[in-house]
Amino acid sequence: MKTFGIAILGCGTVGSGVAKILLDMGSVLSERSARPIELRKIVDLSPKKSSEKNNIPLDLFCGGGKDLTPDEASGYISEIISDKDVDLVVETIGGTGDYLFSVILDAMKAKKHVVTANKAMLAERGSAIYQTAQENGVTLGYEASVCGAVPIIKAIREGFTGDEVQEISGIMNGTSNYILSKMELEGTDFKSALKMAQKAGYAEADPTLDISGGDAGHKLAILIRLAFGKEIEYKNLRKEGIQDIEREDIELANEMDCSIKLICYARKVEGRIAASVKPMMVKRNNLLSKVHGATNCVEVINKYSGRHYFMGAGAGGPETASSIVADIVFTARYGTVVDNSTPLRQLELVDADQFEFPYNITFSTADRPGVTGLVTTAIGAQKINIDTVSHNRHNRKEAVFSVATMPCTMQQIKDAVATIRKDSPELLTEEPKAIPILQ
List pLDDT tens digits, range 367-419: 888 889 999 999 999 999 999 998 777 666 788 889 999 999 999 999 999 99
**pLDDT over 70 at 40, yes or no:** yes
pLDDT in tens, 51-71: 999 999 999 999 988 999 999
Residue 396 pLDDT: 62
pLDDT, residue 380, reads 96
- At residue 395, the pLDDT reads 66
pLDDT in tens, 146-201: 999 999 999 999 999 999 999 999 999 999 999 999 999 999 999 999 999 999 88
* Residue 201, amino acid: G
pLDDT at 284: 95
The region, left, alpha or beta by phi > 0 then psi within -120 to 50, assigned to residue 32 is alpha
Q: What are phi and psi of 238, to 5 degrees?
A: -70, 125
- Is 188:216 a contact under the CB 8 Å cutoff? no
pLDDT one-digit tens code per residue, 214-254: 999 999 999 999 999 999 999 999 999 999 999 989 998 99
The answer, yes or no, to whether residue 212 has pLDDT greater than 90, is: yes
- The DSSP code sequence of 405-428 is ESSB-HHHHHHHHHHHHHH-TTTB
Mean per-residue pLDDT, 85-106: 97
438 pLDDT higher than 70: yes
Give, in order, the Cα–Cα distances in Å from 61 to each of 39, 104, 346, 350.
Answer: 10, 20, 46, 47
Domains of the chain with bracketed CATH: 4-151+319-334 (3.40.50.720), 155-312+346-352 (3.30.360.10), 356-438 (3.30.70.260)
Residue type, 426: E
How far is 317 from 44, CA to CA, in rounded Å?
Answer: 16
What are the pLDDT digits (tens) for 258-274? 999 999 999 998 889 99
Which entry of 20, 41, 112, 219 is annotated as an active-site residue?
A: 219
Residue 219 annotated in active site:
yes
Question: How far is residue 403's CA from residue 361's CA, in Å, rounded to a whole number?
Answer: 5
Q: In the structure, what pLDDT confidence band is assigned to residue 290 with cuts at 50, 70 and 90?
A: very high
